[in-house]
C-alpha cells in the first residue's frame, strides 16, 4: 500500500475522484482535498523518495492550505442578493 503512494498517477486518480465527489456533494468540502492531491502529483514527480507517512503529512498540509485559500477566495464573492429597505407598497 505504501508503494502506491509514491506513484504519481495514484495521486492524479485521487484528485479526479475527489473532484467528482465535489461535483456530487454541495458545499466545497472536497475541493481542497482534490487540489491537495493534485499538488501531490508535482511533489511525487519532483522529489521522489519520501516515506508513506511523510507523503500523507505533506498531503494533509497542502490540502489544508488549499482549503483555507478557497475559503478566503469564496468569502469575497457575494451572492448578488440585495437587501430591500423599502417596500413597494409603502
For residue range 10-63, what is the model confidence (pLDDT) as tens digits?
A: 999 999 999 999 999 977 789 999 999 999 999 999 998 899 999 999 999 999
In this predicted structure, the answer to whether residue 77 has a pLDDT above a threshold of 70 is no
User: Tell me, what's the pLDDT at 28?
Assistant: 78
pLDDT band at 88 (very low <50, low <70, confident <90, very high): confident
User: Tell me, what's the pLDDT at 71?
Assistant: 87
Sign of the alpha-carbon dihedral angle for 35, 76, 71, 80: negative
Q: What is the DSSP letter of 29?
A: S
Give the Cα separation of 4 and 10 in Å (integer): 7
Amino acid at each position: 500500500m505504501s508503494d502506491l503512494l509514491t506513484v504519481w498517477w495514484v495521486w492524479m486518480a485521487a484528485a479526479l475522484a475527489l473532484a467528482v465527489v465535489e461535483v456530487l456533494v454541495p458545499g466545497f468540502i472536497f475541493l481542497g482535498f482534490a487540489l491537495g492531491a493534485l499538488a501531490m502529483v508535482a511533489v511525487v514527480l519532483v522529489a521522489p523518495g519520501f516515506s508513506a507517512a511523510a507523503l500523507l503529512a505533506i498531503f494533509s498540509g497542502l490540502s489544508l492550505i488549499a482549503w483555507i485559500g478557497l475559503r478566503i477566495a469564496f468569502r469575497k464573492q457575494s451572492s448578488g442578493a440585495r437587501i430591500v429597505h423599502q417596500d413597494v407598497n409603502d
